[in-house]
Amino acid sequence: MSTGHRDAQVSALDWALSAMGEATRRLEEMPAGDLPRGLAAISEAVWWVTLVDATLVRYHPGDYDLILARHEPDERHAIEDTLGGLRFVRNKMGHDLDPADFARPPGGRPAAQDELLAWVWQTVPEQAGDRGQEWELARHQSFETQLTGRPIGETFTRAAAFLRLVAAVAGVPAEAVGARPS
């Protein structure tokens, strides 16, 4: 691989990590009383987390597996299911299901004092088209097992922290990786 090609990959990953950080930080800052804006912020965070995840899996599989292996089996499984569940959301949100089908404020109604990070993932029924795609069924199961009923903040914190660790090992500049998980 030429140095220029490697530099372009690192630069693209650097940019995607920065965008992921901005999207997940927006979840912390956004008032939760506005359902449409809250759902848009969650959708954007899902997109960027899964984009960074896919990039690391494709271009840095050894680093990805190394960091995954450093976790205890239960945490490793939780990380894998969290990312699989987010891939399911990415594939279905806006296509087969409305964003409001995935996450809601606690108690189902937004209140000005609720934090967006406290919103919880809602159970989503299996779609008829999923039956033909075993990988999509597995992602749906990951969503139901690891995300449903849990706060979205927990999901994004786990996913972003793991992806930042992988990126750091992969040699992404420290300023792009960020010092704190969202």
pLDDT tens, residue by residue, 96-147? 888 889 998 887 665 555 688 989 999 998 766 655 578 888 999 999 999 9
Share of the chain above pLDDT 70, in %: 82
Distances from the Cα of 59 to the Cαs of 76, 82, 156, in angstroms? 20, 20, 22
* Helix residue ranges, H only, the chain: 3-29, 35-59, 61-69, 73-92, 134-142, 152-169, 174-177
Q: Are 169 and 147 in contact (CB under 8 A)?
A: no
Both tokens assigned to 112: 């000005």
Average pLDDT, the chain: 85
> pTM of this prediction?
0.87
Reported confidence tier of residue 8, pLDDT bands at 50, 70, 90: low
Among all chains, which residue has been given the structure tokens 């750091």? Answer: 168
Which whole number is the average pLDDT over 13-30?
A: 90
Reported confidence tier of residue 181, pLDDT bands at 50, 70, 90: very low
The pLDDT of residue 174 is 64
151 forms beta bridges with 120
pLDDT tens, residue by residue, 146-177? 999 999 999 999 999 999 999 999 988 766 66
Reported confidence tier of residue 7, pLDDT bands at 50, 70, 90: low
Angstrom distance (rounded) from CA 20 to CA 68 = 20
Backbone φ and ψ for 97, nearest 5 degrees, come out as -135, 150
Both tokens assigned to 50: 């899964």
pLDDT tops 60 at residue 31: yes
